């Protein structure tokens, strides 16, 4: 198949591109390298089935040309990361909403099966754990810019599902819960690479808030396996929403302790209030656990990697970068 991956130079995107090339697909990538890195796609440059354009999602001509040659689009490009979202809310909303609108327009024009990346953030402050795809959603007020990410992704979901209902476009929505693994940037607030880098440098690990908030971390290899299976099963793109994530829950304090243990670091944890880490009045969710029954039924998928194995992969990757003296 010819697959067009937006955001293919990003963390999840570059792992997906590698897997697609390995199984024989042709892959086109569009990425503006805002949070992605050229180094992520450099290994594929020169591959006969790989093509990339460094450009913005909102360049209609490039988007049209790449979609015209594709059977399917995996739309991953987005403004990502809590820090970026809080600091640049306008860019977040425009990239996510206008970008997805543009992608869906070309998908309709060329009848491309489309996977849209969404997020567990859309569950907002919901407390009905585990979160199911059809749950009511509870976002915070528009005066708190962190909710603009969830709201923009939710609008993306509505746009995608509307394109399916009104125009018969084959669309699936993938709601990712925390996806982690080698190659994830820690610059925009992602907790696992940030902790691992701090520990490897012998620094204190900075836990935001009191550390009792919990998350479920899914290895990017498991996430990619789910995306490949969704691409392969036409019935899944009939206007469906799927949670993709691990159900192994851990508090952020326990995560920090585990990182310290596995890196053999000195072991100090410093607690920083959210208001200081992000912005005054910053709100977060206490727990986020996906119900994965729907995707398990649809594609027979379960995460296979536990937190220790994820941490070992990230530690090995970050240690290699540190040894090579990579700029952060």
Q: Which is nearer to ligand NAD, 198 or 243 (CB)?
A: 243
Taking alpha carbons only, the member of 153, 133, 180 closest to residue 80 is 153
Q: Where does residue 132 fall: left (phi above 0), alpha (psi -120 to 50 degrees), or beta otherwise? A: beta
- What minimum distance in Å lies between the beta carbon of 264 and ligand NAD? 26
Annotation says 149 is catalytic: yes
Q: Which is nearer to ligand NAD, 95 or 237 (CB)?
A: 95
- What minimum distance in Å lies between the beta carbon of 5 and ligand NAD? 10
Helix axes 307-323, 252-263, angle to 10 degrees: 50
Q: Which is nearer to ligand NAD, 77 or 93 (CB)?
A: 77
- What minimum distance in Å lies between the beta carbon of 120 and ligand NAD? 6
Q: Which is nearer to ligand NAD, 115 or 256 (CB)?
A: 115
Q: Which is nearer to ligand NAD, 86 or 265 (CB)?
A: 86
- What minimum distance in Å lies between the beta carbon of 38 and ligand NAD? 10
Find the catalytic residue in 110, 123, 149, 274. Answer: 149
Which residue ranges make up the site for ligand NAD (CB under 6 A)? 7, 9-13, 30-36, 56-57, 76-80, 95, 99, 117, 119, 176, 178-179
191 touches 255 (CB < 8 A):
yes
Q: Which is nearer to ligand NAD, 13 or 89 (CB)?
A: 13
Q: Which residues are tagged catalytic? A: 149
């Amino acid at each position: 198949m010819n697959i067009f991956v937006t955001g293919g130079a990003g963390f999840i995107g570059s792992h997906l591109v590698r897997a697609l090339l390995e199984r024989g697909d042709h892959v086109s990538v569009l990425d503006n390298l805002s949070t992605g890195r050229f180094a992520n796609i450099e290994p594929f440059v020169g591959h006969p089935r790989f093509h990339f354009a460094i450009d913005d999602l909102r360049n209609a001509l490039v988007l049209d040309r790449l979609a015209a040659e594709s059977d399917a689009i995996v739309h991953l490009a987005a403004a990502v990361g809590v820090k970026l979202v809080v600091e640049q809310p306008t860019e977040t909303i425009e990239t996510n909403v206008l970008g997805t609108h543009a992608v869906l327009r070309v998908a309709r024009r060329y009848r491309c099966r489309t996977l849209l990346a969404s997020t567990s953030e859309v569950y907002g402050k919901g407390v009905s754990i585990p979160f199911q795809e059809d749950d009511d959603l509870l976002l915070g007020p528009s005066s708190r810019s962190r909710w603009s990410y969830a709201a923009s992704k939710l609008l993306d979901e509505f746009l995608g599902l509307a394109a399916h209902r009104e125009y018969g476009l084959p669309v699936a929505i993938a709601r990712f819960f925390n996806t982690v693994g080698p190659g994830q940037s820690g610059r925009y607030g992602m907790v696992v690479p940030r902790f691992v880098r701090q520990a490897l440098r012998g620094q204190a690990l900075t836990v935001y808030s009191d550390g009792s908030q919990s998350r479920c971390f899914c290895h990017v290899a498991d996430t990619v396996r789910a995306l490949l299976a969704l691409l392969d099963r036409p019935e899944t793109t009939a206007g469906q929403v799927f949670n993709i994530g691990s159900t192994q829950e851990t508090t952020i304090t326990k995560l920090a302790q585990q990182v310290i243990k596995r890196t053999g670091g000195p072991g100090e944890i410093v607690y920083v209030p959210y208001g200081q880490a992000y912005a005054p009045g910053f709100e977060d969710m206490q727990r986020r656990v996906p119900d994965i029954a729907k995707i398990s039924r649809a594609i027979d998928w379960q995460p296979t990697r536990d937190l220790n194995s994820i941490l070992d992969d990230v530690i090995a990757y970050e240690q290699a970068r540190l040894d090579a003296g990579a700029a952060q």
